[in-house]
Amino acid sequence: MGTVILSILVLGFLIFFHELGHYVAARTASVRVHELSLGFGPRIAGWEKNGIAYSVRLLPLGGYVRMAGETPEDADDPNSFTKKPLRSRLGVIAAGPVANLVLAVVLFFLVYGVVGVQVLADDTATVGRVLAGTPAAAAGLQAGDRIQAVDGQPISTWMDLVTVISAHPGKTMDLTVVRNGQVIHLEATPQHRNGEGFLGISARTRSLREPPWTAAWHSLVLTAQMAVALLVGLVAIFHTGLGGVTGPVGITEMIGEASRMGLANLLFLAGALSAQLALFNLIPVPALDGSRLAFLILEGIRGRPVDQQKENMVHFIGFALLMLLMIVVTYRDIFRLIPG
């Protein structure tokens, strides 16, 4: 339950920052805002101030800013979204993804420059931590154990161990372990985790903080690398299907693991999710910010807007398809977690 609550808080924070970007840009452009909502579905809490409704809704995996001009009823409002110059509307829509990119840079900076990057304490395959409820814990591995061999294959470095474990999901392995100067043998069976073996151990690490300018540069570079990684992943979907796509259940699992590994890991994962949320929203798929930007760019090229009812219908269909995709991916993630 604690992992679920933490995941809701992390994802809710990332989504809130995204919608806050739209909200601030809309207010800056003097667009009338009716509502700022975190989540979809029935309203569970909220208040109203200066004519704007602020609400929290039942389903936290989303959010929206409802502006004047998005429905025909108030399309003639001089402060509606549709009455603003094209550049202002482009700025309002782009502000959400930009906010998430800025947040990613800030979170990565906190990791590199404040909390500290976790680096290997040494180059041996020495266990620093064992996660509860994992194959490593079931096998009896302990912090401080040094793994010398796996199935008789010598292990010299931590990367040697990661390579062997990752390549053998579901295979029972004999681990030769040095514990307090004594050699013992343990059996462990790595779990399947996104097609790779997962044992549930982490290396011995130490915290390394970088100077502010170095940390800022690394944060920018890492955010750019996240963009490339997302694009590569999207291309891979066309070849491998949805096998590498993770839904809310999978993300919850990742957040839980990151929190157990320490604050730096949790901040790093939150930064990666924020960057990917920004870039995913820029994809020109109906219902995403990228699609709305595409319609605005098309308006600039044509010199006149696309019929609003037609555009709304495209976004509605796109939203329905995205919800269907989320259901499919969530079902697959749950099925994957069922033992056997």
Phi-psi region of 53 (alpha: psi -120 to 50; beta: other; left: phi over 0): beta
Structure tokens at 242: 């949805």
What does the pLDDT look like over 303-334, one tens digit per residue?
888 777 777 777 777 777 766 766 665 555 55
CATH number of the domain that residue 186 is part of? 2.30.42.10
What are 109's two structure tokens? 């900076």
List pLDDT tens digits, range 160-185. Answer: 999 999 988 889 999 999 999 999 99
> Which residues are catalytically annotated?
19
Residue 301 is assigned to a structural domain of this protein? yes
- Give 185's contacts (C-beta < 8 A, 6+ positions apart): 174, 175, 176, 177
pLDDT of residue 22: 94
Ramachandran area for residue 252 (φ above 0: left; ψ -120 to 50: alpha; else beta):
alpha
In this structure, what token pair is assigned to residue 71? 């429905």
Structural domains counted in the chain: 2
Do 191 and 107 lie in one domain? The reply is: no
DSSP letters for 98-126: HHHHHHHHHHHHIIIIII-EEEESSSS-B
Classify residue 281: in a domain, yes or no: yes
Cα–Cα distances in angstroms (integers) from residue 158 to residues 151, 152, 185, in the given order: 16, 16, 18
Long-range pairs of 309-313 with CB within 8 A, sequence gap ≥ 24: 309/72
96 and 8 share a domain?
yes
The verdict on residue 187 lying in a domain is yes
Of 158, 173, 206, which one is at a domain's C-terminal end?
206
Same domain, 74 and 50: yes
Neighbours of 78 (CB within 10 A): 10
Residues 72 and 47 in one domain: yes
Contact by Cβ (8 Å): 317, 286:
yes
Strand ranges (DSSP E) for the chain? 33-49, 52-67, 117-120, 127-130, 146-150, 153-154, 173-179, 182-188, 191-193, 196-198, 201-203, 205-208
State the Cα–Cα distance between residues 336 and 247, nearest whole angstrom. 12
- Segments forming the whole domain that contains residue 127: 120-206
pTM of the model: 0.73
60 inside domain: yes
The pLDDT, as a whole number, for residue 240 is 55
- Residue finishing a domain among 158, 177, 206: 206
Task: Specify whether 36 is located in the same domain as 89.
Answer: yes
Clarify whether residues 146 and 126 are in a common domain: yes
Residue 303 forms part of a structural domain: yes
State whether residue 294 is helix, strand or coil.
helix
Tell whether 260 is covered by a domain.
no
130 lies in the same domain as 104: no
pLDDT digits over 296-305, tens only? Answer: 998 898 888 8
Report the distance separating Cα 72 and Cα 79, nearest Å.
Answer: 14
* pLDDT score for 189: 92
User: Do residues 273 and 201 share a domain?
Assistant: no
Q: Is residue 131 part of a domain?
A: yes
φ, ψ dihedrals at 34, nearest 5°: -85, -40
Per-residue confidence (pLDDT) for residue 248, from 0 to 100: 60
Structure tokens at 133: 């409820």
Q: What is the pLDDT of residue 340?
A: 46
In terms of residues, how long is the chain? 340
- Pairing type for strands 196-198 and 201-203 reads unpaired
Where among 153, 174, 206 does a domain terminate?
206
What long-range pairs does 69-74 form, CB within 8 A, spacing at least 24?
69/31, 69/32, 72/308, 72/309, 74/32
74 and 159 belong to one structural domain: no
Alpha-carbon distances of 136 from 49, 113, 130, 204, rounded to whole Å: 53, 32, 7, 15
**Claim to verify: residue 128 and residue 192 sit in the same structural domain:** yes
pLDDT of residue 239: 56
Which structure tokens are listed for 116?
């500290």
The closest alpha carbon to 119, from 205, 10, 11, belongs to 205
**What span, in angstroms and rounded, lies between the C-alpha atoms of 310 and 29?**
25
Could you give the CA distance from residue 55 to residue 130 in angstroms, rounded to a whole number? 41
Looking at the structure, tell me whether residues 192 and 271 fall in a common domain: no
Assess contact for 269 and 254: CB atoms under 8 A.
Answer: yes
Residue 59 is predicted with a pLDDT of 76
Residue 78 lies inside a defined structural domain of this protein? yes
Same domain (yes/no): 21, 109: yes
pLDDT averaged over 10-residue windows placed end to end, the chain, 340 residues: 77 88 94 88 89 86 82 78 91 94 95 84 87 91 93 91 91 93 93 84 86 92 84 63 56 74 85 89 83 89 80 73 65 54
- Output the pLDDT for position 58: 83
